[in-house]
Structure formats: C-alpha cells, structure tokens
Amino acid sequence: MSSMLEPRRIVAAIAMILTLICPRSALSADVLSFPPTSFEILNPDTGAAIGRAKYRVDSAGDRATLRGEDGYFDGQTDVEIAHLDLGSTGRPPRLVDFDHTFYNGDRSILRRHHLDVKSGAATCIDNSGGQKTELTDVLTVPDNTWAGGSIVIPIQEFLREGTQETTLPLNVFSCATGPKIFAVNVTKDPGDAMWAAYGGDAMRVEVRPNFGWLNVIIEAFMPKLHAWFDPHDGWAFLGDEAARFYKGPPIMVVKSRTNPVDGAHSAK
C-alpha cells in the first residue's frame, strides 16, 4: 500500500501519515506533535490482516521527523524515516532526506532505499534472492520531490485548498531497480464515497507515473496507487493500497478505528 511509489506507503507507506500537517503559515507545535497512530496491514485480495503499522511525527523548531514502523505477523519489519524542513512562514514543508529499510524476520536487511535531497545522493540496496545488489547515483532532485509516506503532505495540502483542480503534479523518489525520480499525477475522485475497508466516508486519490504521451501506450501496464483521506477530519490520512516495494507484494494499510496506540505491532 508493485508500485514505483514505495507504498505504505505511499509503503508502503507510503507513510502516510502526516494526518495533521498543513502549510507553515498555519502550523503550530500541537499540529506537528501528535501521538502514534496505528494502522492495520491487510492483504488487499483477501482482506486478511497480515500486520500492523504505527506512524508519528515529531517536530522541533523548523524541522520535523516522520517515522513509520510496519510489523508483519511473519516477523518481517519495515522502518521509514523522513526528515522535513518546515521553512519560513508561508512556505510549505519540504523533504530533506528519506530512508526506508525493509528487514527479514531475522533482522537482516532485505532492501534499503535512501535519498539525500540536497546532494542528490541516492542508494538502492536489494538483498533478495540471496544476492546483494547495491546501486547508487547522484540525482538531480526537482522541487516538490517526495518519497514514501511523506507524499501525504502535498496531497493533504491539495485537498485542503478545496480548489476545482482535480490533478496535482508531483515528483517522487523510488527504487525501481535503481534510484529514480518520477513525475507523477495525483488525481482525486469527484466526491466522497464509503471506503469499505475503513467503514466510513473517504476521499480517494490515485497516484500514477506521468510519462507524457507514452501514458497512452503503457497505461494498462502500470500499477496504481490509491490513498484515502477523511473529509470530516481535516483530510486525515486513512490508508492506501499499493505494494510493499517495487515489484513486491501488494498491501493495504488502513487506519485502526479502535485505540490508535494499544495493540500496535511496532518494529524495533
């Protein structure tokens, strides 16, 4: 929740997760410091629970840190950390660096995705199949580039603006074989609808790579990422459906409707 956009979030997970972030002109310490919020991780084909996730945002001065932890019932875990620059008054947050590490059940590293926005230094590590592959590159990082769950920030801002525009262009870092930055389009549905997985009203958005005129040719072959937001609670992030990583297993992340802290399966 395979996509080029790191689910959760959008990570999986994409995550996903900055349920209260808004432009700096409206920010406050209370907004950026909220308790951990728990999510269930589901198999999107069967609806069966396969794990739990917990995300939080900690802020200090003009910086904030998004931390996401996914724990799967088979012992695998994921840890995602994104540092944000809140900037000056009136300027929206920006991604500073991003790190997403996927662990096997024995805590050995399965994959790792890393980006330093200022230098452009990026690393993609893949230890699957018993063979280690490490690909590095120095990327030209465009403005408005996000990764993993941090993509929730500009989407929430887009929804809160309430404009008539239906599509938001963004740039997203992903380890699609090697380090890459993709232009994507975020498209919102015409209106709210019941999201059965959550059991409440939600606004659905779709995130897809933008290949210009090539979209016509390859659209049918590209994976989609869907995310849902609460129209009755400041567009709080409710969950998404994507893949754990590029060409990885599909997952769905859904905000828990029970106590958001108790019972969370946290990665250590």
pLDDT in tens, 65-75: 999 999 999 99
Question: Which carries the bigger pLDDT value, residue 267 or residue 124?
Answer: 124
Q: Kindly list the domain boundaries of the chain, sorted by start residue.
A: 8-255
The whole-number pLDDT of residue 89 equals 62
The whole-number pLDDT of residue 160 equals 87
On average, the pLDDT of the chain sits at: 80
Average pLDDT over residues 239-255: 92
Nearest to 126 by CA among 249, 245, 4: 245
The whole-number pLDDT of residue 15 equals 33
Instruction: Tell me the pLDDT tens digit for each residue of 199-225.
Output: 999 999 998 877 554 444 444 434 568
Nearest to 6 by CA among 133, 213, 149, 185: 149
How far is Cα 204 from Cα 184, in angstroms, rounded to an integer?
Answer: 16
The whole-number pLDDT of residue 4 equals 43
Lowest pLDDT segment from 18-32, 89-103, 234-248: 18-32
Q: Is the dihedral of CA 41, 246, 236, 116 positive or negative?
A: positive
CA–CA distances in Å: residue 253 to residues 10, 89, 214, 241:
10, 33, 30, 6
Average pLDDT over residues 127-135: 89
* % of the chain surpassing 70 pLDDT: 76
The whole-number pLDDT of residue 88 equals 65
pLDDT surpassing 60 at residue 9: no
Tokens of 93: 């947050």
The structure's pTM equals 0.80
Q: How sure is the predictor about 5, in pLDDT bands with cuts at 50, 70 and 90?
A: very low
Question: Which carries the bigger pLDDT value, residue 27 or residue 153?
Answer: 153
The whole-number pLDDT of residue 210 equals 73
* % of the chain surpassing 90 pLDDT: 53
The whole-number pLDDT of residue 198 equals 94
